[in-house]
């Protein structure tokens, strides 16, 4: 591959308001900043990378330490520090360049946020737009036209599938009305991702989570679907690291059994605080690791602790890091799903490319990913118009799934074609 020299950098951002308070990880968001960068190369190529910032996901302590807007501003500063560091550098692989950047940039991010124990996911989130731009520049310089072509050889086997369909995990937030959940089932959605980990003490959290599961299951238990082998709808749960220990989580699962919901649970995402090192192989349920996998070492540690699935977050932790995690999952024959960050329409298809390329999820026979921007952004229709193919069949849910065709694979879901809207955010010479 070519050695690419970076000769120009620029950045911008936009604030996108949410329709309502969006609760997870014990906190609430009201807006999400869209972080956009442009990178130019010596050979005359340029690329535009887009990222959605989520400070609450990246590090809840940063989110709680300051105002929501200032937290976003701090993350944007880190993005620009990264751009300054790559100016004038040469690279052959985005992965190698990010590996070079991260150690010093992480120390700088600690100083910027004032958080010494900064969760590195904050840094990954800040680097997302930069990483995406680097991958698109890498593709342009090397005349790579599809997502599969863009994946370096060591990672191709892990992302070699071509799923024809991807089930959409319909996100159920803390406060979503039951009527909306029922309507989603009537509209064909068949996998419901229930946000657990309500704000409060561990006991208060558990009580609220149990009440919430009861009302959701009561509303959905008789709903059927032709998309699942059992004919029932399925649940996944995501606590975003809120449960302190297995004992508390087991009480939640025992309640799920008591009301007849347990057999409909596909998996439980990231239940425990990061300090928890309990083995989960005896939980009787597939436990998936998400935020707690910061690097390859963490992935191997989670495997040793009995975690049976990985949540890939290429739209939060960068594609560069995600490829490493996907490779480990492939080598150990454990399934992967792709989780959302309430991202914009363009980033949905970055995520969709990954979900389409990993092995089908067991018991579903298709890919599995979450997307929830349409239900959370106030200006979603306008945002969708900035996608290169907003009306493509593969760009819109059909009966709770994305149905992928040759056009999707040929275009990489449109990620190689940046809309003029984003180009016009930058001043051209």
Q: Which residues pair with 27 in a beta bridge?
A: 24
One digit per residue, pLDDT tens: the chain, 429 residues?
889 999 999 999 999 999 988 877 778 899 999 999 999 999 999 999 999 999 999 999 999 999 999 999 999 999 999 999 999 999 999 999 999 999 999 999 999 999 999 999 999 999 999 999 999 999 999 999 999 999 999 999 999 999 999 999 999 988 899 999 999 999 999 999 999 999 999 999 999 999 999 999 999 999 999 999 999 999 999 999 999 999 999 999 999 999 999 999 999 999 999 899 999 999 999 999 998 999 999 999 999 999 999 999 999 999 999 999 999 999 999 999 999 999 999 999 999 999 999 999 998 999 999 999 999 999 999 999 999 999 999 999 999 999 999 999 999 999 999 999 999 999 765
Which among 100, 129, 145 is the end of a domain? 145
pTM score? 0.95
- What tokens appear for 401 in the block? 């799934």
Nearest to 296 by CA among 154, 83, 198, 110: 154
Which among 145, 162, 186 is the end of a domain? 145
Q: Which range of residues forms the domain containing residue 81?
A: 4-145
Same domain, residue pair 411 and 318: yes
Same domain, residue pair 223 and 357: yes
Same domain, residue pair 264 and 167: yes
| DSSP run (H or E) holding 327 | helix 319-331
Q: Give the CA distances from residue 135 to residues 14, 94, 164, 350, in Å, rounded to whole numbers and listed in that order.
A: 22, 6, 25, 11
Instruction: Give per-residue pLDDT as tens, 190-200.
Output: 999 999 999 99
The DSSP 8-state label assigned to residue 316 in this structure reads: T
Which among 145, 177, 206 is the end of a domain? 145
């Amino acid at each position: 591959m070519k050695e690419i020299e970076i000769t120009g950098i620029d950045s911008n951002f936009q604030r996108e308001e949410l329709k309502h308070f969006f609760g997870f990880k014990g906190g609430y968001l009201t807006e999400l900043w869209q972080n956009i960068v442009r990178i130019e190369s010596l050979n005359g190529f340029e690329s535009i990378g887009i990222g959605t910032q989520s400070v609450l996901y990246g590090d809840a302590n940063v989110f709680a330490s300051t105002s929501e807007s200032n937290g976003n501003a701090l993350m944007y500063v880190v993005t620009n520090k990264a751009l300054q560091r790559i100016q004038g550098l040469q690279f052959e692989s985005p992965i190698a360049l990010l590996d070079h950047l991260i150690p010093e940039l992480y120390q700088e991010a600690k100083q910027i946020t004032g958080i010494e124990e900064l969760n590195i996911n904050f840094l990954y989130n800040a680097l997302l737009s930069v990483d995406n731009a680097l991958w698109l520049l890498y593709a342009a310089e090397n005349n790579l036209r599809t997502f599969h072509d863009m994946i370096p050889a060591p990672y191709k086997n892990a992302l070699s599938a071509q799923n024809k369909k991807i089930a959409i995990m319909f996100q159920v937030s803390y406060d979503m009305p039951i009527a909306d959940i029922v309507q989603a089932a009537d509209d064909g959605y068949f996998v419901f991702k229930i946000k657990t980990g309500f704000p409060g003490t561990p006991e208060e959290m558990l009580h609220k989570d149990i009440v919430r599961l009861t009302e959701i299951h009561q509303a959905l238990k008789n709903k059927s679907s032709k998309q699942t082998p059992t004919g029932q709808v399925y649940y996944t749960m995501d606590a975003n690291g809120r449960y302190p220990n297995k004992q508390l989580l087991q009480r939640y699962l025992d309640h799920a059994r008591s009301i007849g919901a347990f057999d409909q649970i596909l998996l439980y995402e990231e239940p425990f605080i990061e300090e928890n090192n309990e083995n989960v192989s005896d939980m009787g349920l597939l436990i998936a690791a998400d935020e707690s996998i910061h690097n390859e070492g963490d992935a191997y540690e989670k495997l040793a602790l009995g975690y049976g699935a990985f949540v890939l977050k290429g739209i939060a932790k960068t594609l560069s890091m995600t490829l490493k995690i996907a490779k480990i999952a492939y080598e150990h024959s454990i399934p992967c799903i792709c989780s959302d960050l309430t991202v914009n329409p363009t980033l949905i298809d970055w995520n969709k490319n990954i979900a389409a390329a990993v092995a089908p999820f067991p018991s579903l026979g298709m890919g599995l990913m979450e997307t929830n921007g349409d239900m959370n952004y106030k200006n979603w229709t306008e945002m969708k118009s900035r996608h290169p193919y907003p009306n493509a069949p593969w760009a819109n849910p059909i009966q709770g799934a994305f149905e992928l065709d040759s056009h999707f694979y040929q275009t990489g879901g449109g990620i190689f074609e940046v809309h003029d809207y984003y180009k016009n955010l930058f001043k051209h010479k």
